Chains A and B, each alone.
Chain A
Amino acid sequence: MVYEEGFTRSLPRPEVAIRALDLGKAFGAHTALDGFSLDVGAGTVCGLLGPNGAGKTTAVRILTTLTRPDSGQAQVAGFDVVRDPRQVRYRIGLVGQNASLDEILSGCENLVMFGRLLRLSAAAARRRAEELLAQFDLAAAANQPVADYSGGMRRRLDLAASLILSPPVLFLDEPTTGLDPRARIDVWSSIRSLVGSGTTVLLTTQYLEEADQLCDQIAVIDAGQVVAHGTPDELKAKVGPDRVETITRKPSLDEVFLHLTGHHPSTGRAEPMTENTR
């Protein structure tokens, strides 16, 4: 990528890409985070799993500099989120629960605009937009207003917009909520290929199955705290057999869906759930 302003310094990637230490945050009488601590190793995928209201989104908002913590500290990509928010912002991508896009503009105009705001030159922003549109199977819809996009297309464009600078750390806040199974599998395969290229991902989800599919590490959050942390297998061993049954039942429904509808919508290639491309 060519930057207009001649940025050349390549930063060494810290071993721990995301570090949260004893974060606390209250909104009025409601305590959203209460001693939230988490380390995510560089190049790994960590799933933040928990019910609605457990504090997942607040944690992500603090780590992405959108909300200030009341107490505790956090570093992302080696920079403190409170003291150096600007440095953090250059190094993160964020995909929220809803697509964050300008619906009046086209997909291409969105990506070029966000690229410009990330200080790419006009030519570089356009080139990067085209690359990403092709990568996310959106080239055909590049010049259509986002208002005409389907939910799955929006989510893919949203993901693309978060990857303009190839940020070393990516936050995905319930990236597949509200998507149909096929679009969900699409987003999963995009996430897998990102991980393959070394991006650190923090993913929040309510779906155990999603965490199981994508994550190296899972942190279970409840009432604003991490209550369990480990690999999917370690956690499965901890929780009872009932939960394990839920894990195995859900993917099979998705497999049925894939089986019935046949193929990956855009590549025409089947995407078996069990394939591990990491």
Chain B
Amino acid sequence: MSTFTAPQSTTTTGWLRDAATLTARVLRHWKRRPGSLVVSLLFPVLMVLMFGYLFGGAMAVPDGGYMAFLIPGMLAMAMLFGLETMVVSVTTDTAKGVTERIRAMPVTATAVLAGRSTADLLNAIVALAVMLITGLLVGWTAHRGLGLALGAIGLLLWLRFAFTWVGIYLGLLLKTPESAVAVQILVWPVGFLSSAFVSPDTMPGWLGTIATWNPLSATATAIRDLFGNPDWNTHGWAAEHSILIALIWPAVLTAIFLPLALASYRRLDR
């Protein structure tokens, strides 16, 4: 025991490297356990097939088929599903003591959470690619050009970025992987109470209002617009300003949950 040396200071490079190391860790998980990644990627595909072909026949969507309405909704749902993966992943780290080990290391909280967030965005990009290919295979297309289509993908990733922080916060709050099941269940009412599957106009008034103002709906409606897909009788201020709301909602969620996530990571006093 002779040559202990310690670094003098924190540097931006060091911060970036810590975040990159923790992003790479999640990518290694995918490589080691490809099964769970594949299942999480194929699940929304299965839902497209189920809803599109089983229920699609009963759905009367004006100006286009149900598939063209459903795919943007499912793209938004795929962003929401990231939340459960995140909660499972964060609670597993707490249960296995990995969170504790990293907290006892000279790694800043922001680097740890940035690493998670980056990995989650990469996951979202892969999930979107799979869903877009599925969409094209079942007859969905974007009609308004590449620029607006990329804008739509940007809005989807922006929504996912917000859900990432909600997921990290819930994961730190819930602590055990068992309680993550609650999140897996609660994702469904959030998903169905939106314009992802049907128009809020077909719901009872008050329920329709909640569905219209759901962050998921704002993004789904906005990207339908940007992709040039049918919109199914959506009226009112919220529907007409969906792009604006799709920009604001994730910003609000991030502004609330990012500081909460950071604070609870720093304050894991037992």
Q: List chain A positions with a Cβ less than 8 A from chain B.
A: 1, 3, 5, 7-11, 27, 43, 61, 64-68, 86-87, 89-92, 94, 96, 98-106, 109, 113-114, 116-119, 145, 161, 165-168, 197-199
Contact = CB atoms under 8 A, between A and B. Distances in A.
A9 B103 CA distance: 24
A208 B9 CA distance: 42
A94 B4 contact: no
Given A7-B6, A105-B29, A118-B106, 6 more contacts: A5-B11, A43-B1, A66-B268, A101-B98, A104-B29, A168-B4
A101 B3 contact: no
Interface residues of B, number: 37
Nearest to B267: A68
B104 A64 contact: yes
A119 B106 CA distance: 9
Interface string B1-26: 11111111011011001100110110
B100 A100 contact: yes
A197 B269 contact: no
B147 to A, nearest CB: 39
B96 A199 contact: no
A118 to B, nearest CB: 6
B101 to A, nearest CB: 4
Contact of A105 (B1, B32, B103): B32
A96 B94 CA distance: 13
A197 B3 CA distance: 11
B270 A67 contact: yes
Contacts of B28: 104-105, 109
B112 to A, nearest CB: 9
B97 interface: yes
B104 A94 contact: yes
B1 A90 contact: no
B210 interface: no
Given A65-B104, A101-B96, A166 B4 contact: yes
7 A-B pairs closest in CB distance: A100-B97, A198-B1, A100-B101, A90-B6, A89-B106, A116-B21, A197-B1
Interface in B1-60: 1-8, 10-11, 13-14, 17-18, 21-22, 24-25, 28-29, 32-33
B102 interface: yes
B102 A165 contact: no
Contacts of B269: 27, 66-68
A89 B105 contact: yes
Nearest to B107: A117
Contacts of A9: 5-6, 8
Contact of A167 (B4, B8, B268): B4
A3 B102 contact: no
B3 A117 contact: no
21 contacts: A7-B7, A9-B8, A11-B5, A27-B269, A66-B100, A66-B103, A66-B104, A67-B270, A68-B269, A86-B10, A99-B97, A100-B98, A101-B101, A105-B32, A118-B106, A145-B32, A161-B101, A166-B3, A198-B1, A198-B2, A199-B1
Nearest to B99: A100
A101 B25 CA distance: 12
A103 B269 CA distance: 23
A258 B19 CA distance: 46
Contacts of B105: 89, 114, 117-118
